[in-house]
A and B are shown apart, each in its own frame.
Chain A
Amino acid sequence: MRARLTPYLCVAPFFVLFTVTGLFPLLYTGYVSLFSWDLVGDAPTFVGLANYAELLGDDRFGTALVNTASIFLLATGPQLLVAVGIAALLDAAPRPTTGWRVAVLAPTAMSVVAVGIVFANLFGPKYGLVNAGLEALGIGAVDWQADRLASHVAIAVMVNWRWTGYNALVVLAAMRAIPPSLHEAATVDGAGRWRRFRHVTLPLLRPTLLFVVVTSTIGGLQVFTEPKLLDAQPGSANGGASGQFQTVALYVYQSAFETRRLGYASAVAWVLVLLVAVLAWVNYRLTKRMAGVDG
């Protein structure tokens, strides 16, 4: 009896923790989303799918979706390019120094709140350092708070600053795993450094790059701290004066704790979960197809 129980007990902590902190909140959020549920109100009333129906016609939710997608694209694209570039540089270094790798990873280890506060100051419209630089260059100041695209760029810069180094190390690890014989064979065939990178390294990095894209997708859809701290009004969840940089995660927070509609906020959260699931599935299919083609 004991012998049969032991393995279950050994794996139990994970499942207990997952149930308590992962599965239960997920399902309970789904349950709450079917109610009109005020944060401090008396009794929640069952409303079925009314919250979801309302969501379809909610302009603010639409704006938040577009903002999230825009910030995600502005963040993931440059991030991938730079990460691969940094990884290639670190890979090409004759003596890989630990110092460089630590330096590359340092932003990831920093408190996102501290980073957010510093960047919000840098991107200050009137007295910010970035605008001072732009004015010195003769480009002119940009209103990082008011302008929708500019605010997205500012947030994407924060996200990139934080995650590029981490992704670079993941890509570097994959580069190091490429058998040297492949490079040697290509060199014998007369391929230069650039050709070897394009036709040997990049194709073999594909699964890793997809992994990076998947994790960036999941992270990108949940961007919260950066836009919250960029907003000049302390504590605001509005994402700018008119929600011009309010992300979906920020909208969930605002609906729950400012508008105090827990049911509606839960519905938004569930739609976000579904979106992440769909995108993860698309990524998974792509990975499988690519792996099939290459293998």
Chain B
Amino acid sequence: MRRQPWRVRALAITTATALIATPSACGTGVAAREPGAPIELSIATFTEFGYEDLLIEYQENHPGIKVRHQRTGQGGTYHQQLFTRLGAGSGLTDVVAVEEGHLSDALAASRLFHDLAVIGPREVTGNRWLDWKYAAAKAKDGSLIGYGTDIGPLAMCYRVDLFAAAGLPTDPELVKPLFTSWDTYFAAGDDYVARTGRPWFDSAGQIFNAMHNQLATGYFDTDDTLVVASNPAVKQNWDAVTTAARRGQSAGLTAFSAEWEAGFRAGAFATKTCPSWMLGVIKAQAGPANAGRWAVTDAFPGGGGNWGGSYLAVPKQSAHPKEAAALAAWLTAPEQQIRAFARTGNFPSQVEALTSPRLLGTVDEYFGGAHTGALFAAQARKVSAPQYKGPGDGRIQEAVATPALRAVEQGTPPEVGWRQLVEGAEKIAR
């Protein structure tokens, strides 16, 4: 074929022109909205929020509004992007979901979020949510940066067949004495290991996390001073968990790894700290073959606790903050969250939802016909005041404490692991 230089040249010129022209095109792209044209809102969520049908309905009821839903599969990736775009000052959707573990970072950057108490619908007040859920979204300056969606009240899950084989009680009422305090929990673990030679729980990180969230003061005091090294309660929890792990109570399976998932099928551990959403994880990972082997009881060492759950926030970047806040308010109303619960199992954080017959009547055959709705509603009420979370709190938990505990499970001496935790926390808190 004959070469066609003119075509190549034309292509080059077009490309160059396009490249030069693009930035200016972007600059003029933000044209004023024509009156009467629909407002386009966007909302970003991660994993499953159960909002698909709700958003369709919202658009039907609000003809002037179009909603674009951006979904991300993994929470970790989602939040990294969220904070990168928050820092960059552009690229976020009008409504963003923020998970509880990352909320402290959002609160530390509260100047970049709208105060929902100011721009949100007047009729939406704190009475809608459980007190601790609502209080946790209040920034230092008093502004409310998020409407609560769901929560993760904690209960205990255990393997009925493994308990029976070890000669332990199996009835949900009779196992409660094992789970009254962390002391009884670890003592039962020692007992179980002695009888069977098999691990009691999945991984040290999963236990430490639950214990840590029950503390009145966690990694930070309310002045945002890092107290991880000076707060004796943190070290006590560390000692209790690492001692138990070194006595063979931990299966050493890193949470959410492929091996951890396989561990559910293999029956590698007898108990599991169980936020409400964990039931879905167990069902998916242990599979139908293990139906009826797992049970859940409404007891948790050291009282209640919460693990997980999210908020909807409106970043200052949003071009339509009022409309975005209205959408977030509607989605987090009890009626909508009950529907999301029916779809995904995300447990509602709204007071009214916790007494809804639909929620209280939920029975889970997989867990031996347990009344899971009523069970977790009761656990949700046991949660006391939220622990103050300083900036970087969630990252310390996830990226420092969990690996440090893994290191101990892999053979690092507990004192060395503790230093790793303290130094890592100092790095993030600086």
B interface secondary structure, majority = helix
> Contact: A241 with B403, CB < 8 Å?
yes
**Nearest opposing residue in chain A for B86, CB measure:** A40
CA distance A68 to B262 in the complex (A): 31
> Contact: A146 with B410, CB < 8 Å?
yes
- Specify which chain A residues have a CB less than 8 angstroms from the CB of B19 in the assembled complex: 13, 16-17, 20
Q: Pick from B16, B412, B420: contact of A12, CB below 8 A.
A: B16
CA distance A260 to B13 in the complex (A): 41
> Contact: B15 with A13, CB < 8 Å?
yes
> Contact: A258 with B259, CB < 8 Å?
no
- Specify which chain A residues have a CB less than 8 angstroms from the CB of B402 in the assembled complex: 233
Flag whether A271 is at the interface (Cβ < 8 A): no
> Contact: A242 with B427, CB < 8 Å?
no
- Specify which chain A residues have a CB less than 8 angstroms from the CB of B253 in the assembled complex: 126
Flag whether A160 is at the interface (Cβ < 8 A): no
A9 in contact with B12 given A121-B258, A235-B74 (CB within 8 Å): yes
A238 in contact with B12 given A39-B87, A126-B259 (CB within 8 Å): no
- Specify which chain B residues have a CB less than 8 angstroms from the CB of A10 in the assembled complex: 8-9, 12-13
CB of A35, distance to nearest CB on chain B (Å): 13
**Nearest opposing residue in chain A for B404, CB measure:** A241
> Contact: A242 with B84, CB < 8 Å?
no
Flag whether B428 is at the interface (Cβ < 8 A): yes
> Contact: A39 with B83, CB < 8 Å?
yes
Q: Pick from B76, B392, B395: contact of A234, CB below 8 A.
A: B76
**Nearest opposing residue in chain B for A11, CB measure:** B12
> Contact: B256 with A233, CB < 8 Å?
yes
- Compute the total of residue contacts between A and B using a CB distance below 8 Å: 105
**Nearest opposing residue in chain B for A10, CB measure:** B12
Q: Pick from B13, B20, B412: contact of A241, CB below 8 A.
A: B412
> Contact: A40 with B420, CB < 8 Å?
no
CB of B339, distance to nearest CB on chain A (Å): 29
> Contact: A242 with B77, CB < 8 Å?
no
CB of B80, distance to nearest CB on chain A (Å): 5
Flag whether A175 is at the interface (Cβ < 8 A): no
A232 in contact with B84 given A9-B12, A242-B407, A259-B427 (CB within 8 Å): no
A124 in contact with B407 given A16-B19, A242-B412 (CB within 8 Å): no
Flag whether A209 is at the interface (Cβ < 8 A): no
Flag whether B254 is at the interface (Cβ < 8 A): yes
Flag whether B399 is at the interface (Cβ < 8 A): yes
Flag whether B105 is at the interface (Cβ < 8 A): yes
> Contact: B256 with A234, CB < 8 Å?
yes
Which of A38, A41, A124, A260 is the most central at the interface, judged by chain B CB atoms within 10 Å of its CB?
A: A260
Which of B16, B256, B257, B407 is the most central at the interface, judged by chain A CB atoms within 10 Å of its CB?
A: B257
Flag whether A143 is at the interface (Cβ < 8 A): yes
Q: Which of A114-130 contact B (CB under 8 A)?
A: 120-121, 124-128
Q: Pick from B84, B266, B420: contact of A127, CB below 8 A.
A: B266
CB of A244, distance to nearest CB on chain B (Å): 9
Flag whether A216 is at the interface (Cβ < 8 A): no
Flag whether A225 is at the interface (Cβ < 8 A): no
Flag whether B112 is at the interface (Cβ < 8 A): yes
CA distance A237 to B77 in the complex (A): 12
> Contact: B87 with A242, CB < 8 Å?
no
CA distance A280 to B57 in the complex (A): 60
> Contact: B411 with A146, CB < 8 Å?
yes
CA distance A126 to B399 in the complex (A): 23
> Contact: B411 with A13, CB < 8 Å?
no
> Contact: B74 with A234, CB < 8 Å?
yes
Q: What 1/0 mask marks residues of chain A from 212 to 246 whose CB sits below 8 Å from any chain B CB?
A: 00000000000000000000111111101110000
> Contact: A120 with B258, CB < 8 Å?
yes
Flag whether A281 is at the interface (Cβ < 8 A): no
> Contact: B410 with A241, CB < 8 Å?
yes
- Specify which chain A residues have a CB less than 8 angstroms from the CB of B403 in the assembled complex: 233, 236, 238, 240-242
- Specify which chain A residues have a CB less than 8 angstroms from the CB of B268 in the assembled complex: 126
Flag whether B109 is at the interface (Cβ < 8 A): yes
Q: Which of B66-94 contact A (CB under 8 A)?
A: 74, 76-77, 80, 83-84, 86-87
Flag whether A97 is at the interface (Cβ < 8 A): no
> Contact: B84 with A39, CB < 8 Å?
yes
- Specify which chain B residues have a CB less than 8 angstroms from the CB of A143 in the assembled complex: 410
Flag whether B114 is at the interface (Cβ < 8 A): no
> Contact: A12 with B12, CB < 8 Å?
yes
- Specify which chain B residues have a CB less than 8 angstroms from the CB of A12 in the assembled complex: 12, 16
Q: Which of A234-281 contact B (CB under 8 A)?
A: 234-238, 240-242, 254, 257-260
Flag whether A98 is at the interface (Cβ < 8 A): no
> Contact: A124 with B258, CB < 8 Å?
yes
Q: Which of B35-79 contact A (CB under 8 A)?
A: 74, 76-77
Flag whether A145 is at the interface (Cβ < 8 A): yes
Which of B76, B392, B406 is the most central at the interface, judged by chain A CB atoms within 10 Å of its CB?
A: B406
CB of A293, distance to nearest CB on chain B (Å): 41
Flag whether A6 is at the interface (Cβ < 8 A): yes
CA distance A91 to B8 in the complex (A): 38
Q: Pick from B83, B256, B263, B420: contact of A242, CB below 8 A.
A: B420
CB of A220, distance to nearest CB on chain B (Å): 25
> Contact: B258 with A233, CB < 8 Å?
no
> Contact: B76 with A235, CB < 8 Å?
yes
CB of A128, distance to nearest CB on chain B (Å): 8
CB of A138, distance to nearest CB on chain B (Å): 23
> Contact: A9 with B13, CB < 8 Å?
yes
CB of B347, distance to nearest CB on chain A (Å): 23
Mark A residues whose CB is within 8 Å of B.
6, 9-10, 12-13, 16-17, 20, 38-41, 120-121, 124-128, 143, 145-146, 232-238, 240-242, 254, 257-260
29 CB contacts below 8 A, A to B, read A10-B8, A16-B19, A20-B19, A38-B87, A40-B87, A124-B259, A124-B262, A126-B252, A126-B253, A126-B262, A126-B268, A127-B259, A143-B410, A146-B410, A146-B411, A232-B254, A233-B254, A233-B255, A233-B402, A234-B257, A237-B399, A238-B403, A241-B404, A242-B403, A242-B407, A257-B83, A258-B428, A259-B428, A260-B428
Additional A-B contacts beyond A12-B12, A232-B406 (11; CB < 8 A): A9-B9, A9-B16, A39-B84, A126-B253, A233-B257, A234-B256, A235-B77, A236-B403, A240-B403, A241-B404, A241-B410
